[in-house]
Chains A and B, each alone.
Chain A
Amino acid sequence: MQAPADDAGVRADRQNPPVDPVSSSQPILELKGISKAFGDFYANKNVDFDLRAGEIHCLVGENGAGKSTMMNMLYGLLEPTEGTISMDGKPVAIHGPRHAIDLGIGMVHQHFMLIPVFTVAENIVLADEPTQGMALDMKSGEERVRELSDRYGLRVDPTSLVRDITVGQQQRAEILKALFRKARILILDEPTAVLTPQEIDELLKVVRQLRDEGMSIIMITHKLKEVLSIADRISVLRRGEMVGTVDCEGQTEQSLARMMVGRDVLLRVDKGESIPERPVLQLRNLWVKDERKLDAVRGATFEVHAGEIVALAGIDGNGQEELVDAIAGLRKIEQGEIVLDGENITGLTPHEISEAGLGHIPQDRLRRGMVVDFDLRENAMLHDWDKPDLVRFGIIDRGACADRADMLIEMYDVRTGGGSGSRAGSLSGGNQQKMVIAREIQRDPKLLIAAQPTRGVDIGAIEFIHRRLVEERDAGTAVLLVSLEMQEVLSLADRIIVIFEGQIVAEFEGGRVDEERLGLAMVGSADAAGGVA
């Protein structure tokens, strides 16, 4: 949750808008009719966008809305399928990062492009090194980095190794990298996602200062409060398309959230009242770390009862993945306890937890959920390589496996090229997901975790999957739905708990909350969390 002090700081800034934010009408950068297709899938479709000199232009949108794709095209990492990019009124084709740099575009990637074992200065000068004769002149490199860092208040020691400094300092190094290359346009891809509130304040201050010195800035984020505090103009992307561009003046978090989510009709799911029974999943003060050894789940406590669908809502990267992995035994638990239907499963192996009654539709089916190069028979027995009905004396009963796979294919209407002998990778995303869901439900779990069960799945399959989850609930299973899609959460959940920065910040009754309040809770807005349990 955001600290109140931070809140006040944001408001104070808003009261002192910069004197003349938007100086020129000629856009420094313009995208016209830009599309980017990956196969049949359009990550960007017919996008128009312009950046004026000396403005901060925020680009907002939900996960998967196509923001990063758009920026990668600007930086020459991807080529547009259609459309033109113009700079200073002249069309340009950006061939690669070097070309983008030469055109004066700098980009701070969401995942920093820094070399951990290099010093800050080495990272910054790389490919534009100062030399003395044949030798690298790191002294003058460090000097120039220091000058830049003093001038813009980007405090970071040029001689430290990148791996030894904080994430905030790494980000400053990334910005210095762009400044060192004399960027006129600076792209910041989700710059605040990894920062502490104090670091965010500092970053926003720097960004304003850069703007005031004439830099044109595109900032991608989904934290609406930050957008309102810093943007001159705001563009909203939804499902790869540009919804519109508005001046920041007069916008509210509510108005932006509405643009982001859209006014689409909710996907209707027929479902009756849920009849929650005994608690099946109980989390008590769960703490889990992520890959970087930072706390990703911080003291989560909640329950899921038999016969209800509980949705864990939140913006991507707020600890959902780590939380699910911890329940499934795939990630170490630092502290706390997990109880599955009365049995303490804390610290058990994935196999034991699976035996204890967990069904798990993993978030990333192509990495975890199925072995892409296995056929469907093999994928159907992914957990069951020691079950006597499939394997006897260590030898697989191929007939039984084929029967099981055929049954799953039939019951869940999985469309395959060659029946149960088809390679999993040859199926469409929706059919792969159906197969995973079929397998997990057929194991008759007490708790079913469905992590983003409809990601990358076509509409028809979405409805099918939703119906199955409701049926499973009605059959008395406890269902924990993890979803980034607000609509999915709203249409499926009997109860919604919101996770923000690893903490459970709000809880709502399903059907008793609208998108705006839910959306505000998901971005960590304190006033939205009216329904806290």
Chain B
Amino acid sequence: MTRRFDIEAIMVPFLAVISAMLVGMVLTYVVTGYDPFGAYASLINGAIGSPSAIGATMLRAAPITLTGLSVMIAFRAGLFNIGGNGQAIMGLLLAGVVGVKLGALPGASHWIVALCGAAIAGGLWGALAGFLKVARGAHEVVVTIMLNYIAIRFGEYLLGLGGPLQEKGSSIPASTTFDTNAQLPVFWRPDPFTEVHVGVVIALAAATFAWFLIGRTALGFQIRAVGLQPDAAEYGGMSVTRITVIAMFIAGAFAGLGGAVATLGELERLQKSELAVIQIGFAGIAVALLGRTTAFGCLFAGLLMGALDSGAVGIQNDNALPPGVATKLIGVIQGLIVLFVGTDLVFRRLSHRIVGVFGGHGAAGMVKS
């Protein structure tokens, strides 16, 4: 239960981030000809250089920390949840419905109900993938990819012209604005344009909850056993089927929350055009891998990824790179981080699980006569 301090657990992500940043630097110089040091200085400044920069970083970190936790929980159960996008969309759609349609809820209960609804909607979308896996043997990766696109199309239908959620009489494919009570309350305004809302607190609470769930509860114990060694879990009397579905529900709920936080915190209404470009599920994969699939690791990784995102804005504002380029560069860096961290971590984890210390097809087959 105690995780011994493991230098490697810090070093691998650290080296991955550094290497990815270095590649980004070379890319910046070779392709744009701009000064990479200047660009990176702007990046750091934009990420942590002022209270409002820090606020922006926190705001960007919140949703991807939540989707990171989603990927993390599924990963602990031995599943690859690539469906964070779809679960987030189902979550934000339900949050949007609550925010728009239930105009009468008093005070804080409105956004709380909206977030709870989002968690349930995302959770059910995730549980569906878990169910198809255990009941029908459908691989969760392809299933969740398909569910992502079904969620996008479903949302586009709801918000499209004439769709049930689209504002009546408007020519814009979007919902009416959220009730003010449904929008996430702001608790810190470092400057007039940066409004840090409770989504940040929710992400922090979610990470703590996930840490507690995984490490301290019987359910988390079962999730980890099923993920590490399903045969041993079965021997220990656990239902691999049940745990798989529950874990995917929880994973989906985190992603749904992530979608709702991004929406109710940052936007005034749901827009059809936003759905297809939602990437927080994918970013969650990067966060989970960089955070070495631990709850607080996800929190730190989420902050780091959030810092990169807000740093991109810093680069933009300082004109340290050609217009629009900064966010793309950050995309490359995030991808490289996944590649570097993922190849190492997962190589070790999988080699452990597949080859086994002794029990796989490799060693045992050779020694046995």
Q: Which positions in A face B, CB cutoff 8 Å?
A: 38, 41, 43, 61-69, 72, 77-78, 111, 220, 237, 328, 330, 349-352, 354, 360, 362, 364, 366-375, 377-378, 381-383, 385-386, 391, 394-396, 398, 401, 418, 421, 425, 456
Q: Which of B219, B239, B356, B369 contacts A349 (CB 8 A)?
A: B239
CA distance A391 to B2 in the complex (A): 17
Contact between chains at A375 and B2 (CB < 8 Å): yes
Contacts A237-B369, A371-B225 given; indicate if A330 touches B235 (C-beta within 8 A).
Answer: yes
Size of the chain B interface, CB-CB below 8 angstroms: 33
Nearest chain A CB to B250's CB is how many angstroms away?
Answer: 13
CA distance A383 to B232 in the complex (A): 10
Q: What residues of chain A lie closer than 8 Å to B2, measured between beta carbons?
A: 375, 421
Contacts A72-B366, A367-B229 given; indicate if A350 touches B221 (C-beta within 8 A).
Answer: no
Q: Which positions in B face A, CB cutoff 8 Å?
A: 1-2, 4, 216-219, 221-222, 224-225, 228-229, 231-239, 352, 356-359, 363, 365-369
CA distance A234 to B178 in the complex (A): 85
CA distance A385 to B225 in the complex (A): 11
Q: What residues of chain A lie closer than 8 Å to B237, measured between beta carbons?
A: 349-352, 354, 383
Q: What residues of chain A lie closer than 8 Å to B358, measured between beta carbons?
A: 366, 456
Contact between chains at A395 and B368 (CB < 8 Å): no
Q: Which of B218, B234, B369 contacts A61 (CB 8 A)?
A: B369
Q: What residues of chain B lie closer than 8 Å to A372, measured between beta carbons?
A: 228-229, 352, 356-357
Q: What residues of chain B lie closer than 8 Å to A395, measured between beta carbons?
A: 216-218
CA distance A378 to B221 in the complex (A): 8
Q: What residues of chain B lie closer than 8 Å to A370, measured between beta carbons?
A: 232
CA distance A385 to B1 in the complex (A): 14
Contacts A350-B237, A385-B238 given; indicate if A396 touches B366 (C-beta within 8 A).
Answer: no
Q: What residues of chain B lie closer than 8 Å to A63, measured between beta carbons?
A: 368-369
Nearest chain A CB to B342's CB is how many angstroms away?
Answer: 19
Contact between chains at A367 and B369 (CB < 8 Å): no
Q: Which of B238, B356, B365 contacts A367 (CB 8 A)?
A: B356
Q: Which of B216, B218, B233, B366 contacts A38 (CB 8 A)?
A: B366
Q: Among the interface residues A66, A68, A373, which one has the most CB atoms of the partner chain B within 10 A?
A: A373
Contact between chains at B216 and A382 (CB < 8 Å): no
Q: What residues of chain B lie closer than 8 Å to A456, measured between beta carbons?
A: 358
For the complex of A and B, 7 pairs with smallest distance between CB atoms:
A351-B237, A67-B369, A382-B236, A368-B235, A366-B359, A367-B359, A385-B218
Contacts A43-B367, A69-B367, A367-B359 given; indicate if A374 touches B216 (C-beta within 8 A).
Answer: no
Contact between chains at A401 and B1 (CB < 8 Å): yes
Q: What residues of chain B lie closer than 8 Å to A382, measured between beta carbons?
A: 225, 232, 235-236
CA distance A368 to B240 in the complex (A): 13
- Please name the residue on chain B nearest to A351 by beta carbon: B237
Q: What residues of chain A lie closer than 8 Å to B369, measured between beta carbons?
A: 43, 61-69, 220, 237
Nearest chain B CB to A290's CB is how many angstroms away?
Answer: 16
Contact between chains at A377 and B1 (CB < 8 Å): yes
Nearest chain A CB to B18's CB is how many angstroms away?
Answer: 28
CA distance A62 to B1 in the complex (A): 41
Q: What residues of chain B lie closer than 8 Å to A425, measured between beta carbons?
A: 357
Q: What residues of chain B lie closer than 8 Å to A349, measured between beta carbons?
A: 237, 239
- Please name the residue on chain B nearest to A62 by beta carbon: B369
Contacts A38-B366, A371-B228, A396-B221 given; indicate if A362 touches B1 (C-beta within 8 A).
Answer: no
Contacts A349-B237, A385-B218 given; indicate if A38 touches B363 (C-beta within 8 A).
Answer: yes
Q: What residues of chain A lie closer than 8 Å to B234, measured between beta carbons?
A: 330, 350, 368
CA distance A62 to B219 in the complex (A): 43
Contacts A378-B221, A395-B218 given; indicate if A371 touches B232 (C-beta within 8 A).
Answer: yes
Nearest chain A CB to B179's CB is how many angstroms away?
Answer: 35
Contact between chains at A43 and B366 (CB < 8 Å): yes
Q: What residues of chain A lie closer than 8 Å to B363, measured between beta carbons?
A: 38
The contact sample of 9 A-B pairs, CB cut-off 8 A, is A63-B369, A69-B366, A237-B369, A366-B358, A371-B229, A372-B357, A382-B232, A385-B236, A396-B221
Nearest chain B CB to A88's CB is how many angstroms away?
Answer: 27
Nearest chain A CB to B28's CB is how many angstroms away?
Answer: 40
Q: Give 16 new A-B contacts, CB below 8 A, not counting A69-B369, A371-B228.
A: A38-B366, A43-B366, A61-B369, A64-B367, A64-B368, A68-B369, A330-B235, A351-B239, A362-B235, A366-B359, A369-B235, A372-B356, A372-B357, A385-B236, A395-B217, A425-B357
Q: What residues of chain A lie closer than 8 Å to B228, measured between beta carbons?
A: 371-374
CA distance A370 to B221 in the complex (A): 13
Q: What residues of chain B lie closer than 8 Å to A366, measured between beta carbons?
A: 356-359
CA distance A69 to B369 in the complex (A): 7
Nearest chain A CB to B307's CB is how many angstroms away?
Answer: 31
- Please name the residue on chain B nearest to A39 by beta carbon: B363
Q: What residues of chain A lie closer than 8 Å to B235, measured between beta carbons?
A: 328, 330, 350, 360, 362, 368-369, 382
Q: What residues of chain B lie closer than 8 Å to A360, measured between beta carbons?
A: 235
Q: Among the interface residues B216, B225, B369, which one has the most CB atoms of the partner chain A within 10 A?
A: B369
Contact between chains at A385 and B222 (CB < 8 Å): yes
- Please name the residue on chain B nearest to A109 by beta carbon: B365
Contact between chains at B357 and A394 (CB < 8 Å): no
- Please name the residue on chain B nearest to A456 by beta carbon: B358
Q: What residues of chain A lie closer than 8 Å to B217, measured between beta carbons?
A: 394-396
Nearest chain B CB to A372's CB is how many angstroms away?
Answer: 6
CA distance A237 to B368 in the complex (A): 13
CA distance A386 to B239 in the complex (A): 13
Q: Which of A41, A351, A367, A391 contacts B232 (CB 8 A)?
A: A367
Contact between chains at B216 and A396 (CB < 8 Å): yes
CA distance A360 to B359 in the complex (A): 18
CA distance A170 to B366 in the complex (A): 22
Contact between chains at B232 and A368 (CB < 8 Å): yes
Nearest chain A CB to B214's CB is how many angstroms away?
Answer: 11
Contacts A38-B367, A350-B237, A351-B237 given; indicate if A396 touches B218 (C-beta within 8 A).
Answer: yes
Q: Among the interface residues B218, B238, B366, which one has the most CB atoms of the partner chain A within 10 A?
A: B218
Contact between chains at B221 and A385 (CB < 8 Å): yes
CA distance A77 to B361 in the complex (A): 13
- Please name the residue on chain B nearest to A377 by beta carbon: B1
- Please name the residue on chain B nearest to A429 by beta carbon: B358
- Please name the residue on chain A nearest to B367 by beta carbon: A43
Q: What residues of chain B lie closer than 8 Å to A374, measured between beta carbons?
A: 224-225, 228
Q: What residues of chain A lie closer than 8 Å to B357, measured between beta carbons?
A: 366, 372, 425
Contact between chains at B1 and A398 (CB < 8 Å): yes
Contact between chains at A78 and B218 (CB < 8 Å): no
Contact between chains at A421 and B239 (CB < 8 Å): no
- Please name the residue on chain B nearest to A381 by beta carbon: B221
Nearest chain B CB to A68's CB is how many angstroms away?
Answer: 5
Q: What residues of chain B lie closer than 8 Å to A62, measured between beta carbons?
A: 369
CA distance A169 to B314 in the complex (A): 70
Contact between chains at B236 and A378 (CB < 8 Å): no
Nearest chain B CB to A305's CB is how many angstroms away?
Answer: 25
Q: Among the interface residues A111, A349, A396, A401, which one has the most CB atoms of the partner chain B within 10 A?
A: A396
CA distance A395 to B218 in the complex (A): 6
CA distance A401 to B218 in the complex (A): 12
Q: What residues of chain A lie closer than 8 Å to B225, measured between beta carbons?
A: 371, 374, 382
CA distance A237 to B369 in the complex (A): 10
Contact between chains at A351 and B238 (CB < 8 Å): yes
